[in-house]
Amino acid sequence: MSINIVLVEPEIPQNTGNIVRTCAATGAKLHLVKPLGFSVEDRYLKRAGLDYWNEADICYYEYFGELREKYKDNAFYYATTKAVNVYSDISYPDESFIVFGKETKGLPEELLYKNKEYCIRIPMREGLRSLNLSNSVAVVLYEILRQGDFKGLKDQGALTQFDW
């Protein structure tokens, strides 16, 4: 299953670095929509992504509409705390795009309103603002991988017997 993670205007280099590492480990493609709140040469970004940076498939876009137009036939899902749909209740088609907003503001309200049937949320306790961006990406990404039976990942590094 091919999965696309989209970060719209990410602000914190460590979060993006962690997401780069997660995408590299799972084979998900990462799409970064400018403006970025950091330089891709940022030492914190590189440190968080460790040696996985060159293993990740990363594309850059000047604005979200550029990405949306390029992939107009694909399914897009929008992660937000304001959604009715729980992320695990969706059956994601192959080549889906999961869109996450900036850490301080999330995605624009107008975008969410226009796509409310495609908005997804991660359940959490009432009164809390949100989860960390890199954790949210991992939660949703691994659910999609689970739905696809972890195709291409299942036997990677698995122990066949214990030598204890």
User: Over its length of 164 residues, how does the chain's per-residue pLDDT go in tens digits?
Assistant: 799 999 999 999 889 989 999 999 999 999 999 999 878 776 666 665 567 788 899 999 999 999 999 999 999 999 999 999 999 999 999 999 999 999 999 999 999 999 999 999 999 998 888 899 999 999 999 999 999 999 888 665 555 555 55
Q: Is 39 annotated for ligand binding?
A: no
122 annotated as belonging to a binding site for a ligand: yes
Q: By residue range, what is the domain housing residue 80?
A: 3-147
pLDDT digits (tens, 9 = 90+) for 35-53: 998 787 766 666 655 677 8
Q: Is 12 annotated as a binding residue?
A: no
Instruction: Name the domain count of the chain.
Output: 1
pTM of the model: 0.90
CATH number at residue 9: 3.40.1280.10
In a domain, 139, yes or no: yes
Residue 164 lies in a domain: no
**Residue 122 lies inside a defined structural domain of this protein:** yes
The DSSP annotation for 4-32 comes to EEEEES---HHHHHHHHHHHHHHT-EEEE
Residue 159 lies in a domain: no
